[in-house]
Amino acid sequence: MSMGIIADYISVEQFGNPSIIEYTENVIAENNPKISYLSYLIHKGESFNRAENDYNRGSSRCTRSNRMNLRLVDMTVNEIMYYQNLQPCTAKVLFAVGKWQIIPDTLAAAIRDLKIDKSRKFNINLQNEIFVNYLTKNKRPAIYNYIITGEGLKLAARDVAREWASIGSPIHCKIPVIKRVGGRLKVVGIRPWKQGGGCYDGLGTNRHLISADKNLKALQKARSEYVNLRKQGYSQKIAYRKSLGINE
C-alpha cells in the first residue's frame, strides 16, 4: 500500500476464521520446511480465497470481493490497470489484485520501475516478479536488507506490515494521515497504532489477522534459508528469490 492510499480491505468474512488460517500455516510449515513461511504468511492473510486470481473492489459497502470467478491470470496488465482505474463502487472496478494484493498505485509504480510490458499476462510468474523485485525490494527495502545482511529485523517486519494490512507490526508503523487542506494534500498527523497491531487496523474494514511475532519469525526463517542457499553456491539473486518461497 502506498502512503495516503486506502489499504487493501481485509475481513474475516472474506478470508475465513483466523484460527483456521493459523492451523493451515502451522501444517504447511511443519510438513514442507523448504517452503518460505513469509510468502505463505502473506498469501494466507491477503489472498486466502483465490490466490493469484484473488481480488477486491475497494469497499465492502459497494460490492463483495471475489464474488465473480474472474481469471485475472488470463488478463493483460493493461486490462488489469483499466479496471483498477474505473470509478470507485462501479460494478467492474478492481482495487487490490492477485496473490500479493497489489493496489492501483503500487501496480503502476512496479510497471514503471521494472519496465514491464503492459501487454504481458498478469499470471503468477509476473505477480511473483513484482513480489520479489519490487514489493519486497525496491518498494520495501528493509525486507530485502534484512534477508541479505541479517540487520534490521524489526524494520523489515514493519515494512511487511506497511505493505500488507493483514499482518501485525512489532514497532510503530508511523503511517501519515494525509488530508486535503486549502486545495493541497497535507500530512496532518500519524495514524494511531497498538502494540503488535496492523498498520491499517480500523481503516475501512481492515484488521490484522496475523501476529507481529509470526511476522518476525517468518523473516528469520527467510534469512536462515537465504544464508543456507548462499553456502550451497546459489547467487544472491536466486537465493533471495528462493528464501521468499518463490521457485517459479
pLDDT means per 10 residues, the chain with 248 residues, are 35 38 46 66 86 82 65 96 90 92 96 98 97 98 98 98 96 89 84 91 86 95 96 97 88
Shortest CA distance to 42 belongs to which of 23, 67, 20, 25? Answer: 25
Q: What is the pTM of this model?
A: 0.82
pLDDT score for 15: 35
Asked whether 70 and 54 are in contact (CB, 8 A), the reply is no
pLDDT score for 32: 56
Question: What Å distances lie between residue 6 and 148, 212, 243, CA to CA?
Answer: 30, 21, 29
pLDDT score for 247: 83
The C-alpha cell at 169 is 507490526
In DSSP terms, which residues pair with 178 in a beta bridge? 187
pLDDT score for 136: 98
pLDDT in tens, 26-41: 444 445 554 558 998 9
pLDDT score for 122: 97
